[in-house]
Chain A
Amino acid sequence: MKRVKKIAAYLFLTVASVISVFPLYWMISAATNNSTDVLGGRLLPGLHLIENYKELILQQNVGRSFGNSMFYSCTLSLLSLLVCSIAGYGFEVYHDKRKDTVMSILLLAMMVPFAATLIPLFKLFTGLGLQSTWIAYILPTISTPFLIMLFRQSTRTFPREIIEAARIDGLSEIKIFAKLYFPTMKSTYAAAMTVTFMNAWNNYLWPKVIMMSADSQTMPMMVANLSAGYSIDYGVLMLGVLICSLPTGILFLILQRSFTNGILGAVKG
Chain B
Amino acid sequence: MRTSGRTSKRLTINQKYSLTGWGFLAPAAILICVMNFYPMIQALVLSFQTGIGNNLQFGGLSNYARLLKDPVFRTALVNNFVYLIIQVPIMLILALILASVLNIKDLKGKGIFRTAIFLPCCTSLVSYAIIFKTLFSYDGYVNTVLMNLGLISERVNWLSQEGSAKVIIILALIWRWTGYNMVFYLAGLQNIDDSLYEAAKIDGANAIQSFFKITVPMLKPTILLTTIMSTNGTLQLFDESVNLTGGGPANSTLTMSHYIYKASFEYNPQFGYAAAMSYVIFILVAILAFVQMKVGDKR
Q: Which residues of A contact B (CB under 8 A)?
A: 5-6, 9-10, 12-14, 16-17, 19-21, 23-24, 26-27, 30, 38-41, 83-84, 86-87, 89-91, 93-96, 99, 102, 106, 109-124, 139-145, 148, 173-174, 177, 198, 201-202, 204-205, 208-209, 219-221, 223-224, 227, 234, 237-238, 241, 244-245, 248-249, 251-253, 256, 259-260, 263-264, 266-268
Q: Which residues of B contact A (CB under 8 A)?
A: 17-18, 20-25, 27-29, 31-32, 35-40, 42-43, 46, 98, 101-102, 104, 107, 112-113, 115-128, 130-135, 139-141, 144-145, 148, 175, 178-179, 183-184, 186-188, 190-191, 207, 221-222, 225, 232, 235-236, 238-239, 242-243, 256-257, 260-261, 264-265, 271, 274-275, 277-279, 281-282, 285-286, 289
**Complex CA distance for A57 and B29, rounded to whole angstroms:** 42
**Out of A94, A220, A241, A263, which one reaches B187, CB within 8 Å?**
A263
- Nearest A residue to B107 via CB reads A9
Most buried by B among A16, A198, A221: A16
Q: Which residues from B are CB-within-8-Å of A123? A: 42, 271
| Main DSSP-derived SS at the B contact region | helix
**Complex CA distance for A126 and B25, rounded to whole angstroms:** 28
Given contacts A145-B32, A224-B126, contact A116 B282 (CB under 8 A): yes
Q: Which residues from A are CB-within-8-Å of B23? A: 90
User: Quick check: A204 and B187 within 8 Å, CB to CB?
Assistant: no
**Complex CA distance for A221 and B285, rounded to whole angstroms:** 28
User: Quick check: A121 and B27 within 8 Å, CB to CB?
Assistant: no
> Could you tell me the distance in whole angstroms from the C-beta of B204 to the nearest C-beta in chain A?
15
**Out of A13, A94, A221, A268, which one reaches B24, CB within 8 Å?**
A94
User: Quick check: A26 and B131 within 8 Å, CB to CB?
Assistant: yes
User: Quick check: B135 and A23 within 8 Å, CB to CB?
Assistant: yes
User: Quick check: B122 and A115 within 8 Å, CB to CB?
Assistant: no
Q: Which residues from B are CB-within-8-Å of A19? A: 175
**Complex CA distance for A221 and B139, rounded to whole angstroms:** 24
> Could you tell me the distance in whole angstroms from the C-beta of A189 to the nearest C-beta in chain B?
16
User: Quick check: B116 and A17 within 8 Å, CB to CB?
Assistant: yes
User: Quick check: B124 and A93 within 8 Å, CB to CB?
Assistant: no
User: Quick check: A142 and B17 within 8 Å, CB to CB?
Assistant: no
Q: Knowing that A24-B131, A27-B131, A39-B139 touch, tell me 9 more A-B residue pairs with CB under 8 angstroms.
A: A24-B119, A87-B29, A111-B285, A113-B232, A116-B43, A118-B278, A119-B271, A260-B187, A267-B225
Q: Which residues from A are CB-within-8-Å of B112? A: 17
User: Quick check: B127 and A244 within 8 Å, CB to CB?
Assistant: yes
User: Quick check: A26 and B141 within 8 Å, CB to CB?
Assistant: yes
User: Quick check: B107 and A260 within 8 Å, CB to CB?
Assistant: no
Q: Which residues from B are CB-within-8-Å of A227? A: 130, 133-134, 243
**Complex CA distance for A268 and B28, rounded to whole angstroms:** 24
> Could you tell me the distance in whole angstroms from the C-beta of B90 to the nearest C-beta in chain A?
13
Most buried by A among B23, B179, B187: B187
User: Quick check: B20 and A241 within 8 Å, CB to CB?
Assistant: no
> Could you tell me the distance in whole angstroms from the C-beta of B294 to the nearest C-beta in chain A?
15
**Complex CA distance for A220 and B240, rounded to whole angstroms:** 12
- Nearest A residue to B270 via CB reads A119
> Could you tell me the distance in whole angstroms from the C-beta of B130 to the nearest C-beta in chain A?
5
Given contacts A9-B101, A143-B28, contact A110 B232 (CB under 8 A): yes
**Out of A116, A177, A209, which one reaches B275, CB within 8 Å?**
A116
Q: Which residues from B are CB-within-8-Å of A10? A: 107
Given contacts A96-B18, A264-B190, contact A202 B36 (CB under 8 A): no
Report 27 cross-chain contacts, Cβ distance below 8 Å, ordered by A residue: A10-B107, A20-B120, A23-B135, A41-B141, A41-B145, A86-B27, A86-B28, A90-B22, A90-B24, A102-B29, A110-B232, A113-B257, A116-B39, A116-B275, A120-B39, A120-B42, A120-B43, A121-B39, A124-B39, A139-B35, A173-B17, A227-B130, A248-B124, A251-B122, A253-B115, A260-B186, A267-B221
User: Quick check: A9 and B104 within 8 Å, CB to CB?
Assistant: yes
Most buried by A among B46, B132, B207: B46
Given contacts A83-B28, A115-B260, A118-B278, contact A245 B122 (CB under 8 A): yes
User: Quick check: A109 and B238 within 8 Å, CB to CB?
Assistant: no
The 5 A-B pairs with the shortest beta carbon distances in the complex, nearest first, are: A94-B21, A90-B24, A87-B28, A120-B39, A143-B31
**Out of B98, B127, B140, B188, which one reaches A241, CB within 8 Å?**
B127
**Out of B25, B191, B242, B261, which one reaches A268, CB within 8 Å?**
B191
